[in-house]
Copies of this chain bind each other. A is one copy, B any other.
Amino acid sequence: MSNNTTSWIQTLTLTPPSLKDNTADADRLVQALKSRLNTPVIDIDPDLLKALPTVLRESKFKVRCILFKERHQWVLTGITAAQDPTPIAGLAIDLGTTRVVLRLIDLAGGSTLAESAFDNPQDEIGPDILARIHFAEKENGLKKLNTLIINGLNNAIVQLCASRHVKPQEIYALSVAGNTTMTHLFMGLDPKWIIREPYIPVVNSPGAVKAQALGLHVNPQARVLIFPNIGSYFGGDLIAGILFSEIYKKSRTCLLVDVGTNAEVVLGNENWLIACAGAAGPALEGGVTRMGMTAGPGVIDQIEVDPNTLEFNIHTIENLPPKGICGSGVIDLAAQLFLRGMIDIRGKLVPAVCGSKIREIDGLLHLIVVPAARAVTGSDLTISQADLDSLIRSKAAMYTILETLTGSVGIAPEDLESFYVAGTFGSFINSESAIIIGMLPDLPLDRYKPLGNSSLGGATLALKTDKYRQDIEQIRDRITYLELNVNQDFMNRFSAAKFLPHTNPKLFPSVKVGDHRLDPPAGY
């Protein structure tokens, strides 16, 4: 093995035992593996010993070994005859609060065999983390939550494997990236203290656990690498994202933002990493993503407003008749409305410009995006002033978090080599629109890089080589977690960010409304 990575699968030809060399089967195998991997210690899962003599002799001592690297050392988790053609699979899991995504990989080469996803069945208990944590405190509540997710995974594993003619017991290694609460519920650990000051998880670094102990129906000797967290509000999903983005390896500073249930931001490079999470007190109530509906078929994800006719050109996912609007659509819409003067610098609808597109319902102005005649719902599809106000608060919160974090280390946004945007949000958002409304800083568009499902991406990497497992621990140990201090200064920045794109137009030189650059509003 001359390269730096070590395959989990090693094919060995052992010297058969003789009267001159009566080393036992297990110890003979361990010796050969130590020499191959150049490592002082290799454990054998004790359950493997029962079949070992037969496998060795039937294979004439030519065997295929399946290995796993626990935090500090190697462990043998499977052994077959060298010629055995059965696949050896790995499974990466993105354990989302709302949605769980699975990726089946070939453990030898790391290539993807199949993917699937399912809605987190804990949703029947409550859609958010808080409701589930409270439920876990009821009698058998934790047990029920744990059973829901484990059963959900087991069902999904059976189907995913069947789609590629792989047997669940051919899965030898798993990796799981989830937020801290989801990880606790998955492990059957009490999440009670996560939401109570001083917000303490049961465990930061769970390491590797036997799949059997977790109730997962895969190979009984399979190990599950559980991504570590750095606190109650900064979970393994984000560690996985950092791993996937590779910002911890970059010489120049990059930023990673993951907008899921929460907004989490990591800033750093090969020397340092600093992070904060969006749950930063009352200023951010409502979060940055409670805009519109979840992306799905028939949902508006792109909008353009014709500068001359002010007609709305909409795009829906899968080009189906429109039934609603998702976050990226709302951002597109707000940017276009602002550029066309249909909302002002405070995000308020301008009736004089919007004309007949405006309707007042229960004393609140609404803008008709799709008239009833063209909407699949049969009623007008509108966005209200309240929705726009909520968007303004969200975008201001996002910008303020980004500004605070970069400011805390004296980095200007333009110094960022790359700005990674993870999650579904990152895949669909129009960066230009986000800049126009001042949600994201005014960087050249090519610095914005969507990462897709970075949690799943990181979980996949963790199954590829043992190097990544060391990286995970190093990332966790290197992150400085910045507790967002919602003080007067923060609130001032937040207030300044509540304008489109900002009270200080110099921060957004590329944004022009009509022919003129923006000026600060009166009073600023």
Q: Nearest chain B CB to A523's CB is how many angstroms away?
A: 37
Determine the distance from Cα of A229 to Cα of B27 in the docked complex, in whole angstroms: 11
Pairs across A and B, CB under 8 Å, 21 listed: A17-B198, A19-B198, A21-B198, A24-B202, A25-B193, A25-B200, A25-B203, A26-B203, A27-B203, A27-B204, A41-B71, A44-B203, A46-B206, A46-B213, A47-B213, A49-B202, A49-B203, A49-B206, A50-B190, A52-B202, A52-B203
Q: Which residues of B have CB within 8 Å of A52? A: 202-203
Tell me which of B18, B21, B57, B200 contacts A17 (CB under 8 A).
B200
Known: A53-B193, A197-B19, A202-B52. A209 touches B24 (CB 8 A): no
Q: Which of A338-355 contact B (CB under 8 A)?
A: none
Bound Cα distance from A257 to B54, whole angstroms: 35
**Contact A200-B41, Cβ < 8 Å, known A46-B206, A190-B54, A209-B46:** no
> Which 9 pairs between the two chains have the least Cβ-Cβ distance?
A26-B203, A24-B204, A24-B201, A27-B204, A19-B198, A17-B200, A46-B209, A24-B203, A22-B231
Does residue A9 face the partner (Cβ distance < 8 Å to B)? Answer: no
- Report the separation of the CA atoms of residues A205 and B25 in the bound assembly, to the nearest whole angstrom: 10
Beta-carbon contact of A189 and B22 below 8 Å: no
Residue A199, interface by CB 8 Å: yes
Contacts of A17 in B (CB 8 A): 198, 200
The complex places the Cα of A292 from the Cα of B190 at a distance, in Å, of 63
**CB contact list, A38-78 vs B, under 8 A:** 41, 43-44, 46-47, 49-50, 52-54, 57, 71-73
Task: Report if A187 contacts B (CB, 8 A).
Answer: yes
A47 CA to B27 CA, complexed, in Å: 29
> Is A483 positioned at the interface, with any CB of B under 8 Å from its CB?
yes
Whole-angstrom distance between the Cβ of A338 and the nearest chain B Cβ? 39
Measured in the bound complex, the distance between the Cα atoms of B481 and A21 in whole Å is: 11
Return the chain B residue nearest A20 by Cβ.
Answer: B198
A50-B189 contact in complex given A26-B203, A73-B72, A204-B24, C-beta closer than 8 Å: yes
Q: Point out the residues of chain B lying under 8 angstroms from A201, CB to CB.
A: 24-25
Is A393 part of the binding interface, using a Cβ–Cβ cutoff of 8 Å?
Answer: no
Q: Which residues of B contact A23 (CB under 8 A)?
A: 200, 204
> Residue A232 at the B interface, CB < 8 A?
yes
In the complex, chain B residues whose CB is within 8 Å of the CB of A187: 46, 49
Given contacts A24-B202, A50-B189, 17 further A-B contacts (CB under 8 A): A17-B200, A22-B200, A22-B231, A24-B200, A24-B201, A24-B204, A24-B229, A25-B200, A25-B201, A26-B206, A41-B72, A47-B213, A53-B200, A53-B202, A54-B190, A57-B193, A72-B73
A57 partner residues in chain B, CB cutoff 8 A: 193
Question: Is A192 among interface residues, defined by CB-CB distance under 8 A?
Answer: yes
Residue of B nearest to A189 (CB): B49
In the assembly, what is the distance between CA of A120 and CA of B232, in Å?
53
* A204 and B26 contacting across the interface, CB-CB below 8 Å: yes
Q: Is A321 part of the contact surface with B, judged by Cβ < 8 Å?
A: no
Binary contact track A177-211/B, C-beta < 8 Å → 1, others 0: 00000000001111011000111111111110100
B72 and A198: CB pair below 8 A?
Answer: no
Is A198 in contact with B73, judged by CB distance below 8 angstroms? no
- Interchain CA distance A98-B192 in the complex, whole Å: 53
When C-beta atoms are compared, the residue in chain B nearest to A232 turns out to be B22
Q: Please report the C-alpha to C-alpha distance between residue A49 and residue B23 in the assembled complex, in whole angstroms.
A: 38
Q: Are B205 and A27 in contact (CB under 8 A)?
A: yes
Take A17-B198, A17-B200, A199-B22 as given contacts and tell me if A190 and B27 are in contact as well, using a CB distance cutoff of 8 Å.
Answer: no
Across the interface, which residues of B come within 8 angstroms of A72, CB to CB?
41, 73
Report the separation of the CA atoms of residues A197 and B198 in the bound assembly, to the nearest whole angstrom: 64
Q: Which B residues are CB-close (under 8 A) to A207?
A: 43
Which B residues are CB-close (under 8 A) to A41? 71-72
A178 CB to nearest chain B CB (Å): 15
A49 to B187, alpha carbons, bound, how many Å? Answer: 9
B contact residues around A44 at 8 Å (CB)? 203
**Interface hits, A257-291 → B, CB 8 Å:** none
* A441 nearest CB across to chain B (Å): 29
Proximity bits, A203-229, B CB within 8 Å = 1, else 0: 111110100010000000000000001
In the bound complex, residues from chain B placing their C-beta under 8 Å from that of A189 are 49-50
- The 8 A CB mask of A3-27 against B (1 = contact, 0 = none) is 0000000000000011101111111
